[in-house]
Chain A
Amino acid sequence: MAYTPQYGPGTSVVAENRRRQMNPNVELDKVRDVTDEDVVLVLGHRAPGSAYPTAHPPLAEQQEPDCPIRKIVEPTDGAKAGDRVRYIQFVDSMYNGPSQPYQRTYAECYRFRGIDPGTLSGRQIVECRERDLESYSKWLIETEMFEPALTSIRGATVHGHSLRLAEDGLMFDMLQRCIIGDEGVVTYVKDQIGEPLDRAVAVGKPLDDAWVKAHSTIFHSLVGLAYRDDVEYIEYIQRIHSLRTKYGFMPVEE
């Protein structure tokens, strides 16, 4: 019988959202439009319209060793062209942010090729070849894995994911990379490391409370769904905990 991945346990809406994000066969809703130039501006790695700087000559122009793995694995577009490795880093608020670091890493590993994600408690970074990064970033910003007020693109100085939201609903950002205008549209006025942009990049209006709760992948007993309310999830985590504890005593199977 062919193996069908389950992606994760749980019967709650949070568990279902986690599975939706991870499953590459599920096409996530596109919530907003950003242009390629917008993405390049926010990333801040190169000037819009400039050529991609390279780390090595294109693969077609260089002699590759005779390697069976290289014959099996098709290189990504960025690897073929010899692009530099660059990054994007996301911070998601614990107040019903649409994703969270582990979730982002799982989802990206299932959906993208040629990436090197880094998962931390309050931020998640993904590194890959520059032109691959731009297409992945565009997808991550346009789909339901991004929420203008509760998700933020921050290369450095990321503090804010666990803090109370500000009065206008934005997650705290020491560098105030994005602001909310009079019409309620969130615009990035600085790139991800905090340098002012030549022009502001709009990423749309924050979504309403009902949408945010329906698309959350974070358990939160105060503003969303409590972890302990998802019995199946608790059962799963207790099983893992029990097994790894027993393994610590080197049990011998009889």
Chain B
Amino acid sequence: MTEAVVDYPQCRITPLRMLKPDSAEALLNEVVKIPGIRRMMINGPNLPRTVPYGPARGKPNPNSNRKVIMVGGSEFELRVQVGTMIFEVLDDSVTEKIRALCDRFFTKFPYQLQTGKKYMRTQPTVADYAKYGPDVDPNLIGLMDPRNKEGPVIIQGR
């Protein structure tokens, strides 16, 4: 039996330009100060550690965008170029606070803030079930890529 899942509102920030690590760090550090954010995900194109295809396959891929950043006191390495940020929030007032923050933050180029409920999964898929079993932590559903060997980064917040 699947337990009833509470659908929290979600929102997604899409800046017109993909963010550099420094900008992403600055924005996320402001966002984590807003109370009421349950979960957060950063999306974007992958920045692999090694060259994935071609004659140079397997060789190291030095990339200044794959950088360790500090968010809310937790240090982690960006694995993607930051394209979109998805937040699951407790209620719509939190979304409005995020919108106000973005209005202040994005001055050089515009951004789009979309609201809805299905930007990240809230129920396990078959792939989730196969990999994590029936007792997976519901807070992690939608945050983990079942194909990826690296787990999610846990930022405790304040």
Q: Are A175 and B63 in contact (CB under 8 A)?
A: yes
Secondary structure of the A side of the interface? Answer: loop
Q: Are B19 and A167 in contact (CB under 8 A)?
A: yes
Per-residue CB contact flags for chain A residues 162-198 toward chain B (1 = under 8 Å, else 0) read 0111111100101110010000000000000111100
Docked complex: A52-104 residues within 8 A CB-CB of B: none
Q: Are A193 and B54 in contact (CB under 8 A)?
A: yes
Per-residue CB contact flags for chain B residues 46-73 toward chain A (1 = under 8 Å, else 0) read 1110011111100101111100000000
Docked complex: A11-55 residues within 8 A CB-CB of B: none
B45 at interface by CB-CB < 8 Å: yes
B45, B56, B62, B109: the one contacting A159 at CB < 8 Å is B45
B18 at interface by CB-CB < 8 Å: yes
Closest approach, in angstroms, between the C-beta of B21 and any C-beta of chain A? 10
Closest approach, in angstroms, between the C-beta of B69 and any C-beta of chain A? 15
Q: Are B20 and A174 in contact (CB under 8 A)?
A: no
A157-B54, A167-B19 provided; 14 other pairs, C-beta below 8 A?
A156-B56, A157-B51, A163-B18, A163-B45, A164-B17, A165-B17, A166-B17, A169-B17, A172-B45, A174-B45, A174-B46, A176-B62, A194-B56, A196-B62
B29 at interface by CB-CB < 8 Å: no
Q: Please indicate the chain A residues that have their CB under 8 angstroms from the CB of B61 in the complex.
A: 174-176, 194
Interface residues contributed by chain B, number (CB under 8 Å)? 27
B83 at interface by CB-CB < 8 Å: yes
Q: Which residue of B lies closest to A191 (CB)?
A: B56
Q: Please indicate the chain B residues that have their CB under 8 angstroms from the CB of A165 in the complex.
A: 17-18
Task: A193 to B16: give the CA distance in the assembly, Å.
Answer: 29
Q: Which residue of B lies closest to A176 (CB)?
A: B63
10 A–B pairs (Cβ distance < 8 Å), ordered by A: A155-B54, A164-B15, A165-B17, A166-B18, A166-B20, A167-B17, A167-B108, A172-B45, A179-B64, A195-B59
Q: Are B18 and A175 in contact (CB under 8 A)?
A: no
Q: Which residue of A lies closest to B48 (CB)?
A: A174
A160 at interface by CB-CB < 8 Å: yes
Q: Are A164 and B56 in contact (CB under 8 A)?
A: no
Task: A156 to B51: give the CA distance in the assembly, Å.
Answer: 9
Q: Are B51 and A175 in contact (CB under 8 A)?
A: yes
Closest approach, in angstroms, between the C-beta of A167 and any C-beta of chain B? 5
Docked complex: B62-95 residues within 8 A CB-CB of A: 62-65, 81, 83
Task: A14 to B17: give the CA distance in the assembly, Å.
Answer: 24
Task: A94 to B83: give the CA distance in the assembly, Å.
Answer: 17
Q: Which residue of A lies closest to B63 (CB)?
A: A176
Q: Which residue of A lies closest to B81 (CB)?
A: A172
Q: Please indicate the chain B residues that have their CB under 8 angstroms from the CB of A164 in the complex.
A: 15-18, 83
Closest approach, in angstroms, between the C-beta of B15 and any C-beta of chain A? 8
